[in-house]
Amino acid sequence: MPNRYDLTGKTCLVTGGAKGIGRAIVQLLVENDARVRVWDSSPVSIAGVESEVVDITQAQQITAALQRWSDMDGPDVLINDAGYLGVARGFVEHPPLDWQRIISVNLVGTMQVTQAVLPHMMRVRRGRIVNLGSLAGKEGLAGIAAYSAASAVVIVFI
C-alpha cells in the first residue's frame, strides 16, 4: 500500500512535470489532494493539474508565470525537476551549445525558479523546496560531463 499524505489546501509547483519522474510526482501530488501547477516546455494533460509552458532558462518567463498566480498566494511546495540530458558524447566532441543548454536548464533554471519563489515562502514563513538531481552528479558519467557537473551543483545547492 502506498504512503498517503494530506496535502489538502497545499499548492505545489513542479518544473519538468510533463513526463518521466516529474509526471509521476505530479500524479502522486494530485492523488494526495494537492493543487498542482506544472511548468514545462511541453503542456501537461492530467486531470486536476494546471499546466503552463514556461522556459525556466528565461527569468522573464518565470516572473510572468508567477504574476499570473493571482488566484493563489504562491506555492507551498516547489519541486525543481526540470532537466535536460543533452547529447551523450566524449568531452572533446561535445557541442558547446549543448553544454550551454544542459547548464541552463538543469542548473540555472533550478536556481532562477528557486530565487523567484523563495521570497514568497520567506514572507509567509513556510514552504518546502525539493531539488532533484542525478546520481551522475555524485559519480560522474562518461559522455555526459556537463549533465554530471550540473547535477553535482544541484545536489549541493541548499
Does residue 116 lie within any of the structural domains? Answer: yes
Domain holding 85, by residue range, is 11-156
Read off the CATH number of the domain in which 137 is found.
3.40.50.720
Q: Which of 142, 146, 141, 150 is nearest to 110 (CA)?
A: 150
Does residue 111 lie within any of the structural domains? Answer: yes
Alpha-carbon distance 21 to 26, whole Å?
9
Backbone φ/ψ region at 127: left (φ over 0), alpha (ψ -120 to 50), beta? left
What is the chain's pLDDT, residue by residue, as a tens digit (158 residues)? 567 888 898 999 999 999 999 999 999 999 999 999 999 999 999 999 999 999 999 999 999 999 887 666 779 999 999 999 998 999 899 999 999 999 999 999 999 999 999 998 999 999 999 999 998 888 888 899 999 999 999 999 86
CA dihedral 114, 119, 50, 43 (to 10 degrees): -30
Q: What's the distance, CA 72 to chain centroid? A: 19
Does residue 5 lie within any of the structural domains? Answer: no
Number of domains the chain contains: 1
Does residue 2 lie within any of the structural domains? Answer: no
Does residue 1 lie within any of the structural domains? Answer: no
Q: Are the C-beta atoms of residues 47 and 38 closer than 8 Å to each other?
A: no
Classified as helix, coil or strand, 52 is strand
Does residue 82 lie within any of the structural domains? Answer: yes
- Catalytic residue, chosen from 7, 105, 147, 151, is 147
Beta-bridged to residue 52, according to DSSP, are 39
Q: Is 147 designated active site?
A: yes
Q: Which amino acid is at 5?
A: Y
Does residue 6 lie within any of the structural domains? Answer: no
pTM: 0.93
Does residue 3 lie within any of the structural domains? Answer: no
